[in-house]
Amino acid sequence: MESSLRYLLLSDIHSNLEALEACLELAQGKYDQALCLGDLVGYGPDPNAVIEKIRPLASVIIRGNHDKACSGDPIAADFNPLARLATEWTRKELTPEHFAFLRSLPAGPVRLESFLIVHGSPFDEDDYILGPVQAFPLLRNPETPIVCFGHTHHQGGFMISPQARFQSIRIPSTKDGLILTFPLQEEGRYLINPGSIGQPRDGDWRAAFAIIDPGKRTVEYFRTTYPLPKTQEKMRKAGLPPLLIQRLEHGR
Ligand code: ZN
């Protein structure tokens, strides 16, 4: 029988403490368990503080490609020069304890009740689920009717309806707070992306997260502003690349 736990989905935090704090404040009292879909670090100025916040909070944390790269794995070939610079900066900044913690994180997928959490895709944490080409084969897998993923930094996801229609889950760009409550129909299949907390790339700079309630069969998508200039100032002081600092305000 399905329990009625509500799960907070936190993904792609990328060392952005201000964005994480704003999300946690908005989510307070609305969930029972927190899950982290990876990329705690990389790009932003606060890797240690973000790990300190997430570690006691989340009951399950899987690693993302940046967590892997920042804790000693060779930097992947698809990392662009800016991502490389930020990775090298993060490696130097991490305390030995946090470095070891990141290194110890399991790769997804991890199953919870009726759904999976993954960073990229169920088959490869480095894969991007960007559109129907990648989403359709995954949605057709009968063993995984609901998969929660991150990595693309696009809030929303994809679905096949009980009538077998493929659809993108589109998120309206409304005011801060709960912006969409999305029903998960019994016979439907879903790929759910809570969006990125620390570096959204869907054209909306605000921090994104979601709460899934498998008992009530809903996903709630949230968006919130945060003190962005403070984060950018920290990045400047840390000497992180200007392009990474600017992209935060464009949500790209
Ligand atoms: Zn990421």
CATH number at residue 79: 3.60.21.10
- As to burial, measured by CB atoms within 10 angstroms (0-12 exposed, 13-18 middle, 19+ buried), residue 203 is exposed
Neighbours of 103 (CB within 10 A): 15
Residue 165 maps to a domain? no
Q: Are 209 and 27 in contact (CB under 8 A)?
A: yes
Distance 14 CA to ligand 1 centre (A): 7
The per-residue pLDDT for 55 is: 97
Q: What is the mean pLDDT of each run of 10 residues along the chain (252 residues)?
A: 82 98 98 98 97 98 96 81 93 96 96 94 92 92 91 97 94 91 95 98 97 96 98 97 96 93
Residue 47 maps to a domain? yes
Which residue type, as a one-letter code, is found at position 114? S
Which residues are near ligand 1, the ion (C-beta closer than 5 Å)? 12, 39
Q: What is the mean pLDDT of the chain?
A: 94
Distances (CA, A) of 84 to 81, 150, 182: 5, 20, 37
The per-residue pLDDT for 109 is: 96
Residue 135 maps to a domain? no
pLDDT tens profile 15-27:
999 999 999 999 9
Asked whether the whole model's pTM tops 0.85, one would answer yes
Reduce the DSSP state of residue 28 to 3 states and report it.
coil
Residue 131 maps to a domain? no
The per-residue pLDDT for 97 is: 97
The per-residue pLDDT for 246 is: 96
DSSP 165: -
Helices (H), the chain: 17-27, 47-57, 65-70, 81-93, 96-104, 132-139, 228-238, 242-250
Distance 77 CA to ligand 1 centre (A): 15
Number of domains, the chain:
1
Residue 138 maps to a domain? no
Distance 195 CA to ligand 1 centre (A): 10
Distance 98 CA to ligand 1 centre (A): 18
Residue 56 maps to a domain? yes
Residue 129 maps to a domain? no
Distance 154 CA to ligand 1 centre (A): 10
Which residue type, as a one-letter code, is found at position 194? P
The per-residue pLDDT for 1 is: 44
Closest listed residue to residue 155, CA positions, set 107, 105, 192:
192
Q: Are 233 and 50 in contact (CB under 8 A)?
A: no
- Put the strands of the sheet holding 166-169 in their side by side order: 110-112, 115-117, 146-148, 189-193, 156-160, 166-169
Distance 39 CA to ligand 1 centre (A): 5
Residue 162 maps to a domain? no
Range of the domain at 18: 7-111+173-184+199-250
Q: Token digits for 218?
A: 């809903």
